[in-house]
Each structure stands twice: as C-alpha cells, then as structure tokens.
Amino acid sequence: MTDLAHFLEKYRNMPILLEGGNFSGRTAILRASVSHYSQRGDRAIYVGPSIQRYLSSLMPNVHDELHLHLTGARNKALLLSLADAVGLTGHFQKSPFTLSGGEQTLLVTICKLGLEPSLLAFDCALGELDPDNAIRIAQVFAGPMGESITTLIVENGYGVDHPWCLPIRRPIEELRNFAESPLPPQFHVSNLRAEPPEDTGCLEAARVTFDYDKRTRVLRGASFCLKPGRIYSIEGRNGSGKSTLARILVGALPLQRGAIYFAGQSLKPWKRPGRVVAMHMQDPNVQLFADSIAQELADLPPQTRRSAAALAGVEGLMCKHPFDLPFVLRKRLTFAIVAHLRRPWLIFDEPTLGQDANACDQMVAVLQKLAEKNTGIIVVSHSREFIRRLQAQRLLLENGLITEL
C-alpha cells in the first residue's frame, strides 16, 4: 500500500481519477488529502455530491457569484470564457439556487477553479453534467489551467459514461488503508416488495409551457403521451428543463400554460402533489424531513416499511438521523421510499448519482420490476449506459419541446 503523502507527491499537479466502488474508502482519501494539503498551508478544496452546499449563499445572482470567486484570479478571462461556453452567461441575473443541478455543478466548478487551489477534490460531484459539458470540464483539468492543481476525482456509475480522458487512473487498492467499511450495506432488488399501483392510466402533457421569468422560457409547448407499464427516459442538456418538467408533473411547480391528463381525465398536480406522480429527486436532502430513518418510513404501509429499509440497506440503522448517513445511503433511502409508494407514475431524477456500477444494475432491476407491475416509470439521467440497460423509450427535451429518439 502506498503512503498518502507519497501518493500525493508522486501525482502532484496532475488530474487523477480514483477508481473503486461505494464504501471502498475513496471519500476518506479525498478528505485526508485535503487535510494533508491544508496542514502544509496550501489551499485545498473538497466538493461533495450535494452540490448546493458549495454555493456561497452570499450573492443574489450568478454574475456576482462568479465575480466573488474570480476576482484576482490569473485565469479569470479563461474561466469567464468557459462560463460562456457552458451557457452560464445567459443566467447571469438568476439566483444560483434556481439553476438546474448540472448548471450548479458547472458554476461551482468554475468558482473553485477561480480560487486557484493547490488541491481540488471532487467526490461524485460531477455526475450531473451532460456529456458535452463533462468533456469540457475534463479538458480543463487535463489542460494548461490544471497544470498547477492536483485534481482528485471520484466518480461512480458505469465507466463507459465517463469522459474523463485523464492521464492518471489509480485503483483504490493502492491506498487500501483508508477503506471506510469492510462490510458495505447491501442494495439488492430481492428486497423490493413490488406491488401494482392503486390506479393506472396514460400520462399526457399537452402544450406545457413554463417560464421562470420573462427572460427564461424553459418549456415551449412540450407534449407527450406515455403508457403505463413502460420505462421512459427524458434526456437533454444541462438546463434544458428536464427537472422542471418532472416537478410540474409531480406538483412541485404550478402548471402555467397547457394541460396534463391522467387516464383521460384532467390532472392538476399542484392541487394534490404526489398523488398520481411521485418523484425521487436529484438531491436526497430535499426529501428527508424526519428525525430518524424509522420516521422517514412511517408514511409507507406497515408491510412495506421493512422491505424499503432492506432495499436501501439501512435496516440496522432505523434510529439514526437520515443526515447522519453518507450521501450514497441517503440517495438509496429516498429511492427505496419512492419505489414502494404504489403511485401510478414514478419519476426518478438522476437516481444513479453517487452509486457504483453494481448499485446502478440493482436500480435497473428495481425499475424494470416496477414496470412489470404496470407502474409507469420516467427516468431523468445523463447516464447513457443506465438508459441502455433499462431498455427505456427515449425522449429528448430540447428547445422546450419533447421529441422521440
């Protein structure tokens, strides 16, 4: 096993992809690396998977957030050019907290680069980037701007989805002494108690339009008709409106113009949120409210609480506060709860964030089993391999409209 200090010195000022599965110790390595650099007096930055936590909360809009971090940066012009290339300049007057998850990831990445750290550690924080933007960021890490930064990257999911054409890839076994858990929690489809939904029917959208403000029209007449018992993917670039559409369907955002129908009847989701369509959101933190895992599960029917806990791998942690769990388990907990809700339609927004390939495979099996029970499934994901394995019917959201792929 390699000593951490020797490892960091060996790969100093290089981008490194640390390879390994969930609970293999990669987060511990990133945190120890940040501590090592900080103790030497060097600036070191850790960015975790809950990306909103890494926005400053000080600035009212994207423009001011960028300039807060880029003031005095030697690469300010290049970073502002990058912000323009990924589309952030079109959102300069928006609050950072109203951006999509992928756009927040881009903003945070550019801001942290502007602070010119000696070490920059990304812990499953880049999974919400669409393929084109992920390639742009990877090129920055491997290019001249990254030559003075040691960049440690941890990513999960399927390796084929990763655009990280980095010169250095290191298996976690090289630093095995940082392993977090010799017996990782199990996550397996066999623990799913899949029952048919209480009602079924087609989910339709007719000319759905949505504006966040007069300058930002996200949906421009999106229409579709989805049949129950099938799996659909909604794909598109960062900021294309995928999560916005999902939130309208579940009732978290009001329908401004257009119509939604379920089983041929007009549906107004914002009047009864989550009754027909339930949603597993990108960030599990916005779906966890109780003081214990047991209380989080309390709204499920008694016979399914145990299976939901078993599916998430938290059976032995029922008294624990949900926010005491690592991100990967918080994500699995909210996934398991939604999977057991027996709603006619379930939306899973970036379910694979923070999950390794084995966990992604189990998610595929869970969603397919739910579809077999005539539940309608909608998946929002940038993982092309996940969508391929799901055998989903693919829809593209582009320029505010839905088309079939």
Residue written as tokens 């390639």? Answer: 135
Instruction: Give the angle 231-235-241 at the CA atoms, nearest 5°.
Output: 115
Q: Looking at the structure, do residues 105 and 201 belong to the same domain, yes or no? A: no
CA dihedral 331, 336, 342, 346 (to 10 degrees): 30
pLDDT band at residue 1, thresholds of 50, 70 and 90? very low
Last residue of a domain, one of 177, 203, 221: 177
Q: Looking at the structure, do residues 272 and 373 belong to the same domain, yes or no? A: yes
- What is the structure's pLDDT at 108? 98
Count structural domains, the chain: 2
Residue 13 lies in a domain: yes
- Please enumerate in sequence order all residues whose Cβ is within 8 A of that of 312, keeping only pairs 6 or more positions apart, or say none: 185, 187, 329, 332, 333, 335, 336, 337
Minimum mean pLDDT range among 160-169, 185-194, 206-215, 377-386: 160-169
Q: Looking at the structure, do residues 195 and 323 belong to the same domain, yes or no? A: yes
- What is the structure's pLDDT at 178? 53
Residue 281 has pLDDT above 60, yes or no: yes
Helix (H) or strand (E) run with residue 377 in it = strand 376-380
Residue 314 has pLDDT above 90, yes or no: yes
| Residues 36-81 pLDDT 10s | 999 999 999 999 999 999 999 899 999 999 999 999 999 999 999 9
Residue 183 lies in a domain: no
CATH code where residue 288 lies: 3.40.50.300
Q: Looking at the structure, do residues 65 and 130 belong to the same domain, yes or no? A: yes
Q: Looking at the structure, do residues 400 and 320 belong to the same domain, yes or no? A: yes
Cα atoms in the Cβ-side hemisphere of radius 13 Å centred on 8 = 24
Q: Looking at the structure, do residues 173 and 193 belong to the same domain, yes or no? A: no
Residue 146 lies in a domain: yes
Last residue of a domain, one of 177, 198, 217: 177
| Residue ranges of E strands in 203-351 | 203-213, 216-226, 231-235, 257-262, 265-266, 277-280, 345-349
> DSSP characters for 1-40?
---HHHHHHHTTTSEEEEE--TTSSHHHHHHHHHHHHHHT
Q: Looking at the structure, do residues 136 and 240 belong to the same domain, yes or no? A: no
Residue 184 lies in a domain: no
Residue 138 has pLDDT above 70, yes or no: yes
Last residue of a domain, one of 177, 198, 223: 177
Phi and psi for 203 in degrees, rounded to 5?
-110, 120
Residue 182 lies in a domain: no
pTM over 0.75: yes
Q: Looking at the structure, do residues 62 and 160 belong to the same domain, yes or no? A: yes
Q: Looking at the structure, do residues 72 and 210 belong to the same domain, yes or no? A: no
| Residues 324-369 pLDDT 10s | 999 999 999 999 999 999 999 999 999 999 999 999 999 999 999 9
Sheet harboring 393-398: ordered strands across? Answer: 277-280, 345-349, 376-380, 231-235, 393-398, 401-404
194 or 205: which leads in pLDDT: 205
- In this structure, the number of other CB atoms found within 10 A of the CB of residue 252 comes to 18
Minimum mean pLDDT range among 53-57, 96-100, 214-218, 261-265: 214-218
In Å, what is the CA distance from 309 to each residue of 11, 294, 302? 41, 9, 12
Q: Looking at the structure, do residues 206 and 346 belong to the same domain, yes or no? A: yes
pLDDT band at residue 167, thresholds of 50, 70 and 90? low
pLDDT band at residue 207, thresholds of 50, 70 and 90? very high
Residue 130 lies in a domain: yes
Q: Looking at the structure, do residues 387 and 360 belong to the same domain, yes or no? A: yes
Q: How far apart are CA 301 and CA 296, in angstroms?
A: 12
Structural domain range at position 349 = 189-404
At residue 155, what is the residue type?
E
Q: Which token pair is 283? A: 């960030």
Residue 225 lies in a domain: yes
Q: Looking at the structure, do residues 106 and 161 belong to the same domain, yes or no? A: yes
Residue written as tokens 């920055």? Answer: 140
